[in-house]
């Protein structure tokens, strides 16, 4: 299985029943910078509520972590 870290979405398009996603990735193994995904539209619609929840929690946790790091940094100054 190959894993990618997506840094940004380059383009989104659709055809009947399918979402087409072009994304920029960090790939340290073969130097690839772009991947292309075709996603079943119904499956994506089913996943949107969970994706929103997970993305919101991940963003909030990242912001909390960053705030804590800056508090610790401020104490060192």
In this predicted structure, what is the pLDDT of residue 28?
66
In this predicted structure, what is the pLDDT of residue 2?
81
Is a pLDDT exceeding 80 seen at residue 17? yes
Q: Is residue 24 very low, low, confident or very high in pLDDT (cuts 50, 70, 90)?
A: very high
Average pLDDT value for the chain: 93
In this predicted structure, what is the pLDDT of residue 4?
86
Which parts of 11-40 fold into alpha helices (H)? none
Percent of the chain whose pLDDT exceeds 90: 82
28, 11, 29: which is closest to 20 by C-alpha?
A: 11
What is the pLDDT averaged over residues 69-76?
A: 94
């Amino acid at each position: 299985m190959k894993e990618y870290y997506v840094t940004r979405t380059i383009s989104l398009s659709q055809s009947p029943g399918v979402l087409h996603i072009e994304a920029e990735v960090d790939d340290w193994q073969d130097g690839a910078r772009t991947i292309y995904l075709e996603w079943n539209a119904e499956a994506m619609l089913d996943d949107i509520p969970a994706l929103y929840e997970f993305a919101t929690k991940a963003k909030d946790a990242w912001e909390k972590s960053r705030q804590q790091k800056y508090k610790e940094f401020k104490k060192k100054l």
